[in-house]
Amino acid sequence: MDSQAPISPLSTPAGTAASPVRHVHGACPHDCPDTCALRVSVQDGIAIRVQADPEHERTLGALCAKVSRYTERTYHPERLLHPMKRVGPKGSGRFQRISWDEALDTVAAKLKAIAARDPEAILPYSYAGTMGLLQGEAMAGRFFNRLGASRLDRTICASAGGAALAATYGGKVGMQVQFFAESKLILIWGSNPITSSVHFWNLAQQAKRAGAKLWCIDPRRTDSADKCHRHLALRPGTDGALALALMGELIRGDALDHDYIQRHVSGFDKLKARALEWTPERAAEVCGVDAALIRELAQDYATVQPAAIRLNYGMQRVRGGGNAVRLIALLPCLTGAWRHRAGGLLLSASGWAAQARNDAALQRPELLAGRSPRVINMSTIGQDLLREAAPDFGPKVEAVVVYNSNPVAVAPQSAQVAAGFQREDLFTVVLEQFMTDTADHADIVLPATTQLEHLDLHCSYGHTDVLINEPAVQPMGEALPNTEIFRRLAARMGFTDPCFGDDDEALARVALKGIDFEQLRARGWARLPVADAPFAEGGFPTPDGKVVVDAPGLGVPDFVPNHESPQMTPELAARYPLAMISPPARNFLNSTFVNVKSLRDIGGEPLLEIAPQDAMARGVVDGAVVRVFNDRGEVKLRARVSTRARPGVVNGLGIWWRKLGLDGRNVNELTHQRLTDLGGGPSFYDCLVEVAPA
């Protein structure tokens, strides 16, 4: 369908003189740590080009391939341009155009009727389709607070690691990304930056050219692993064991910074005995790697400074993800790596922006008026949509309002998620730009604007700048910003609180503290005040400024094996001997962009990488369609026999739209809804499967 003509002509009709090109400050809206500043070129009301803002240092002069083509998204022939109501069975994707009046009246009438019984039977479901402060939880937050709807625990990506950082450092804080360029040793841990953080990768390359040694710690031999000096391909979910062995080696070799530990780490003695139990040989057994490689890594980490760790969320999507992050986060505290601005660790920088964000001014928690609605974890949406009312649960979910997310594709254990969204007695509203798997299940679809059509403000979890995104063009068709949709819905619901009258500019003006809005507007971005080496002298955002080893209620961190592993479930491991991970694909962003044909063509088909010996043992040949299955279900993928997969592990790449897959499903057919040790996160990469020729 991508072959249809675009909605708006990108060229000027013959015979008319083109007006001058105007440049607009933009920000990339996507869930990516790089948060690039955009320069949008507009001519005759049409966005003709999206480029890097050359003035913004962190954008390093270039965008990724996906967002360089952002105009293809805005002018995509399949954009949703008007409200629709479903006319076929749920999931069939058969819809009919309706007016905004009919759409809003229908939604308001339904929500009012449910709220009259119990507003907690209504659930918002959103994540990071846009990371914008306005089009995220601003007007939406006000709306659901005023309604008293169930609250959503937004755990689907980063909550295990986030909780671990909070327990250890006191917040989501870390190194400033630009100083990785000066590091002499970089551990790229659970991250594939060529795919997921290409600007960080650029900095790591600068360091490499200046003589730094790069390690990649990842079960998959990624493009990034290929370009590092060393690759430690451990089994999924064994990072905690590796971290303990590294610590053990640091202690045995007395490579500790005793002064830093004494002044800035509390409770280290409690960890010492545990770490000493972990030799490289013991960890090698658990991780499935060579002990010599662990020794070499420990030796490098003990002797090379400045040493920096780029941790990413890939490694915390397993049962023990929280404990593993706590252990890894302690490493730079034991060697005093934090003394250098090019040393330490970066998992998330979003805590630096927390001081500037005024979420309460946007979301208005006081509209709850003393109510404290139940909380539903977005990572268990499958089972929760199928639950009946119960004292430990509350009312059955009767309505879901989805925005900025595609749960039918991205949430674990899709069979349950799809069954939940197919419930005939569930009323589903989806605010979307495209007809996703989730929109297919809606009763009412409401068309949302893209980043070129609305105002927004952005913080970053990879750097410490804040950005503005000015609307570059008029909304396409009848699409509206999320803010405006919730504003109009509020009016239909009879919510008369004055805050529902705030326009987007009014929201933008209260969203950030300590940032001059006019200056932000003029320049496009502003820098938060963060020290170059923030923890050189301790001063972590914990109550006493020290790093925490023995966290209240959590104890001392330890290695925690996977939910599905030979240690925990030997019987299951015998039937399903392969561990499946499903990391992001380079040309998609989660399930976003799967419908952009030029990007999908690069991805080809949903692939399963399988190691040659595992393929041979199963009669699987390269290029064949295989069944990948476990007790939860089955999905068909195209096998790629490749040493990118280590023995015993298969890699199912990208989050494909189910309907664009080989059999109307994707890898989340196989994942489960058990949660991580900390933060209640999903354990997508903690999943045993078997593979057979289809």
* Residues of this chain that bind ligand MGD (CB under 6 A): 29, 31-32, 127-130, 135, 156-157, 189-192, 195-196, 217-220, 222, 236-237, 239, 312-315, 318, 403-406, 410, 431-434, 436, 448, 482, 581-584, 586, 588-592, 655, 667-668, 671, 684-685
Nearer to ligand MGD by Cβ, of 222 and 542: the residue is 222
Of 352-411, which residues contact ligand SF4 (CB under 6 A)? none
Tell the smallest beta-carbon distance from residue 425 to ligand MGD (Å).
Answer: 24
Which residues are within 8 A (CB) of 346 and not within 5 positions of it... i.e. 6 or more apart? 174, 175, 177, 180, 308, 309, 310, 311, 462
Tell the smallest beta-carbon distance from residue 195 to Mo ion (Å).
Answer: 12
Using CB under 6 A, pick the residue from 167, 198, 367, 667 that binds ligand SF4.
198
Of 123-162, which residues contact Mo ion (CB under 5 A)? 157
Q: Which does 404 bind (CB under 5 to 8 A by kind): Mo ion, ligand MGD, ligand SF4, none?
A: ligand MGD
Under 8 Å between Cβ of 312 and 165: no
Q: Which does 586 bind (CB under 5 to 8 A by kind): ligand MGD, ligand SF4, Mo ion, none?
A: ligand MGD
Under 8 Å between Cβ of 49 and 71: yes
Tell the smallest beta-carbon distance from residue 64 to ligand SF4 (Å).
Answer: 3
235 phi, psi to nearest 5 deg: -70, 145
From 61-69, 77-85, 259-267, 634-642, give the range in contact with ligand SF4 by CB under 6 A. Answer: 61-69
The DSSP symbol for 108 reads: H
The residue number whose beta carbon is nearest to Mo ion equals 157
The DSSP symbol for 651 reads: E
Whole-number Cα distances in Å, 652 to 51, 506, 668, 670, 685 = 31, 44, 10, 11, 10
Tell the smallest beta-carbon distance from residue 67 to ligand SF4 (Å).
Answer: 3
The DSSP symbol for 220 reads: S
Tell the smallest beta-carbon distance from residue 128 to Mo ion (Å).
Answer: 7
The DSSP symbol for 656 reads: -
Tell the smallest beta-carbon distance from residue 408 to ligand MGD (Å).
Answer: 10
Q: Which does 63 bind (CB under 5 to 8 A by kind): ligand SF4, ligand MGD, Mo ion, none?
A: ligand SF4
Between CA 117 and CA 531 the distance in angstroms is: 52
Using CB under 6 A, pick the residue from 24, 26, 28, 628 that binds ligand SF4.
28
Return the C-alpha torsion angle 566, 570, 575, 576, nearest 10: -30
Q: Binding-site residue total for ligand SF4 (CB under 6 A)?
A: 12
Tell the smallest beta-carbon distance from residue 218 to ligand SF4 (Å).
Answer: 19
From 30-38, 267-275, 324-332, 519-527, give the range in contact with ligand SF4 by CB under 6 A. Answer: 30-38
Angle between helices 268-276 and 239-252 (to 10 degrees): 100
Token pair of 491 as six digits? 């009016």
Tell the smallest beta-carbon distance from residue 170 to ligand MGD (Å).
Answer: 22
Using CB under 6 A, pick the residue from 24, 25, 26, 34 that binds ligand SF4.
34
Could you tell me where the beta strands, DSSP code E, fall in 146-208? 151-153, 185-189
Using CB under 6 A, pick the residue from 24, 63, 611, 641 that binds ligand SF4.
63
Tell the smallest beta-carbon distance from residue 22 to ligand SF4 (Å).
Answer: 21
Tell the smallest beta-carbon distance from residue 227 to ligand SF4 (Å).
Answer: 18
Between CA 432 and CA 147 the distance in angstroms is: 22
Whole-number Cα distances in Å, 633 to 57, 134, 441 = 47, 38, 20
Nearer to ligand MGD by Cβ, of 547 and 655: the residue is 655
The residue number whose beta carbon is nearest to ligand MGD equals 129
From 24-32, 317-325, 437-445, 657-665, give the range in contact with ligand SF4 by CB under 6 A. Answer: 24-32
Neighbours of 651 (CB within 10 A): 26
Between CA 347 and CA 325 the distance in angstroms is: 9
From 34-42, 107-115, 159-167, 176-184, give the range in contact with ligand SF4 by CB under 6 A. Answer: 34-42
Which residues are within 8 A (CB) of 335 and not within 5 positions of it... i.e. 6 or more apart? 250, 255, 256, 257, 260, 301, 302, 305, 307
Dihedral of CA 291/297/300/302: which sign?
negative
DSSP code string of 312-374:
-GGGGSSTTHHHHHHHHHHHHHHTTGGGSTT-EEES--HHHHHTTB-HHHHH-GGGGTT----
**596-635 footprint of ligand SF4 as x/- string (CB under 6 A):** ----------------------------------------
Residue 16: exposed, middle, or buried by beta-carbon count in 10 A (0-12, 13-18, 19+)?
exposed
46 phi, psi to nearest 5 deg: -120, 135
Q: Which does 67 bind (CB under 5 to 8 A by kind): Mo ion, ligand SF4, ligand MGD, none?
A: ligand SF4
The structure tokens 């929500």 sit at 111
Strands 625-630 and 688-693: antiparallel
Nearer to Mo ion by Cβ, of 461 and 657: the residue is 461
Of 65-94, which residues contact ligand SF4 (CB under 6 A)? 66-67
Nearer to ligand MGD by Cβ, of 246 and 265: the residue is 246
Is 64 near ligand SF4 (CB under 6 A)? yes
Binding stretches for ligand SF4 (CB under 6 A): 28, 30, 32, 34-36, 63-64, 66-67, 198, 589
